[in-house]
Every structure is written in structure tokens, then in C-alpha cells.
Structure 1
């Protein structure tokens, strides 16, 4: 059944909630919903105390390594880490305490062409069971197109049933941000959630647009319980006023008899 998955997004060493697709190298057009007064390790310690596993810790650009290491130290083995993950540093972050590495842009060349040999090299380095593939995407007329480089550059990889099946043996999980609705609290992409629940043959965490506690039940229904939900900007711990973090913890507690992700 669908679980709530926590998150920590880091930008310039601070915990923030940023509207999807507005983060660029020059910072022009950046839209920030929230910047926390608490350090990253505050949140990872909170998740640890509440028994929440499988959350994602994302480094949005440079200047976040120190904060990321502090968060992993506060909750060793409890968080996945993404943002700038490559063959050269993946094992380093696992040693630092991440349960999995989340990889996106490394799997593509500068023109956005998928490079499966890079994925195979990463598997040889750390093992498929320690890899989460981030297939964050944008909706197009013909489906959902994976986007890289902070969701600003389209790739030639689409979330087709065949591609989802092909990636199933190459990683432990998938992470899918719906970049068009991420951070806007305007509702989830229901068609995408249903698509993932129907066609993804491995665990998936969906993020983007969640605005109320009832979205957990909605994702559960749309995906037949096969997709988990991450909630960010709407949460009270991230400055939101629509979803109480304590209610999300309680939701997971009702599913405590199920295996942890």
C-alpha cells in the first residue's frame, strides 16, 4: 500500500522547497516556496525518530555536500541521496551513510541521449540494489519525457511501459518528480500516477503537486497501492498549511505491518 516518503531538498546548503524547473545556473527566475531555519540534520533526525525510511535527500546544485553529509550522519542508512551522482562519487556517498544513490543526469550525454553503458558501469560499481533511477519528467502530448539538469533539459527517454520494464532489473526503485506541478500544491498528476502503478514493475516514489493528506489515499487508489507519495511544500514542517507532518506519520503507522521500503 502507498506510503508517505519524506524528503530534504538542499540549495546552497539550506533546506528549501523550490518550484520545479525554476532552478538554473544563473538563478534567474528561481521561485522558492520555503527556506528553513533548521539545518538538514534536523529533518533527518526527525525522520529517524518517527521511523520514516526511504526518503530522498537531493542536492540542488553546488555547495550542499557538507549539509548532506550532516544529514546522512544523523540518519545512517535511512535516506537516499541524489544530485550530481556519478560513477566517481556514488560509492563515496554510500559510505557516508546513504542507503541508495539517486542518479539522473549522469545516465545521459550532454545532448540528452540515454547512455545505458553508464548505467551498467554504475551497477558494476555499487550494485543495482543500491541504485534509484530518477525519471523525473515533463508532460508532453505523446506522454511523459524524462528531463535532466534540474528538470530543465529534455532527454530522449520516455516513460513508456517498455522503458519502465527495461529499467526494472537495473535499480532498486524509481523516483519520479512531475516537474510541471512540483512545488505548486495544485494537485498531483493523476494520469502519471496511474501510469506508474500500472506499468512500473518495481517500487516507485512519486513527487509533485501534493496538496492535502487525502492525496495519499488518492495515490493509493490510482496506483493500486504500488506507488508511494512524497509531500513537500504543503507540509507544515516546510512552511505549508495544508498537510500536517504528524498526520503523514500516522498514515504510515497504519501500514506498519507491511515491509519497509
Structure 2
């Protein structure tokens, strides 16, 4: 289990928000607004050797801050938010290791294979991360789009993930029901993902303590990485960032060198 850091950008600033409130009909709930720049956090993650984190642009007006983070830590961060086949290569040229896509390939409640093929042809499978933001419905898990308001027809199950992973290098999974709420990890989704995935997969949503990290490791059976946002003290929470880094380093040390 690796700790994957995050830099969420909204209106050009580093923020932690409740994702479900990011729409045009109600005020965004902000858990934290940083006085520090995106490059400040990128430099921190670089110094700590944390690779594979993601910069997410939540709406427009975030491009300059995103590029500043990528240039501070070239090859160490992924980028998502408004990524298309037309602009993906430019972010890779600015230093992103991967681009993260979701709404571009999910349109009108369906997986758009034309768009998926197009972006793969532009950046290659090995530099693409597919973001699957999940909600439960009728005992099954489905991808939600349109700022998490619209259920797609894409069920997150073994068969669909095995097909989709042939087009990407990693999955990023947001547990929409707990994302940004600091209410604990979503146990059922984590167990389900551990049964389904066979490529690097990062889970995001609800983690708030070292006990959550320990439980996550057990439920995920070492098959999943985790990202933590608003619970961290560097983002206004109470969970010490340094403790999380050291805890995950300790797990890797116990596991020994990778085969």
C-alpha cells in the first residue's frame, strides 16, 4: 500500500472541498483553502519521494497553478480535470507523468469508446489513468459523472474493469458517498475493488486516521493505494501528514524489495 498525495485546485487555489457540492446550484462547501501555492505542495511531495499523486483541476481557472505544480515535480504527479485528447499531450510536456480522464470518456451515461480510443492514440496506454467515481445503487457500483450527479450505465465489476484496464495504466477510484467528508473509508467499496482490480489502483474517500489506514490495508489486501486529502494537517485536518508518510514507508519496509 502506497500513499498517493493530492493537490486539488479550485479557482486557482489549493483547496479541499466536498466534491458533491461542486455544481452550479449551491455554494461549494470548502473544508480548507490554503495560503500556500500548488508548487509548495509539489516540492514537499518531491522531497518526500511520493510519486503517483494527482493534481486535479476542479473547474476552469486552474491551469497556471496546475502547470506550476507539474513543473516543480516533473514526472512525479498526474493531472486530471478537463483532460481531453486535444490537450492531454500538452500537460505531459509540462511534466505530468500521466493524464487522468473521466468525463471525457463518459458521455450521456455511456462509456464513449471513440473518445477512449482517441486519447489512447494521443498519449498511449502507459500514460493514461482512468478515474472511476463510484456510487452504490441497488447493491451494485456505478460510475457517476456530471460533477457526480448523473449515474452512468457503467457498472464497476470484474468484467468491465478487466476490459477497461487494457486501455490504461492505472485506475483512480473516488468513493463519492464519503469523499471530502472525513467520515471514514468506505469498507464495502474497498473490499469490492480488491476483488476486481489487477492493475495499480488508488482509492480516494473518507480516510481520517491511522486506524483507517490500517483497516484499509486489511480490506484492500495490499492491492490498493490510498490518497488522503482534507483529513491531513497540511490541508487543515488533524491527521499528521508526516505520520501518514512514515506509516506507509514502514509498510513498504516490512514488505521488502519488490520482485
Q: Same fold (TM over 0.5)?
A: yes
- 1:3–1:251 contact (8 Å) kept in structure 2: no
Q: Which residue of 2 aligns with 1:150?
A: 147
1:105 alignment partner, SS class: coil
Q: Which residue of 2 aligns with 1:89?
A: 87
Could you report, residue by residue, the CA deviation over 1:173-230 in whole angstroms, capped at 9, with x for unpaired residues? 0000111110111111111111111111111100001110122221111111001111
Output the CA distance in 2 between the equivalents of 1:112 and 1:129. 26
> 5 Å matches for 1:22-37?
22-24=21-23, 26=24, 28-37=26-35
> 5 Å matches for 1:96-135?
96-109=94-107, 111-135=108-132
1:181 aligns with 2:178: yes
CA 1:112/1:93 → structure 2, altered by over 3 Å: closer, same or farther?
A: same
Which stretch of structure 1 is more off in the superposition, 94-103 or 215-224? 215-224
Output the CA distance in 1 between the equivalents of 2:147 and 2:66. 18
TM-score by length of 2: 0.95
Q: Which residue of 2 aligns with 1:248?
A: 244
Output the CA distance in 1 between the equivalents of 2:160 and 2:215. 25
The alpha carbon displacement at 1:166 in A equals 0.8
Q: Which residue of 1 aligns with 2:64?
A: 66
Could you report, residue by residue, the CA deviation over 1:69-106 in whole angstroms, capped at 9, with x for unpaired residues? 00001100000100000000111110010000000000
The alpha carbon displacement at 1:28 in A equals 1.7
Output the CA distance in 1 between the equivalents of 2:84 and 2:164. 18
Unaligned runs of 5+ in 1: none
Output the CA distance in 2 between the equivalents of 1:223 and 1:253. 17
Unaligned runs of 5+ in 2: none
Output the CA distance in 2 between the equivalents of 1:30 and 1:180. 16
Output the CA distance in 1 between the equivalents of 2:34 and 2:100. 23
1:123 alignment partner, SS class: helix
Could you report, residue by residue, the CA deviation over 1:8-42 in whole angstroms, capped at 9, with x for unpaired residues? 00000000001121101x36231110000001111
Which stretch of structure 1 is more off in the superposition, 126-135 or 159-168? 159-168
TM-score by length of 1: 0.94
Alignment RMSD (CA, Å): 1.2
Q: Which residue of 2 aligns with 1:4?
A: 3
Give the length in aligned residue pairs.
Answer: 255
The alpha carbon displacement at 1:258 in A equals 4.6
- 1:20–1:181 contact (8 Å) kept in structure 2: no
1:135 alignment partner, SS class: strand
Could you report, residue by residue, the CA deviation over 1:123-150 in whole angstroms, capped at 9, with x for unpaired residues? 1111100000000111212311111232
Output the CA distance in 2 between the equivalents of 1:77 and 1:215. 29
Output the CA distance in 1 between the equivalents of 2:229 and 2:106. 27
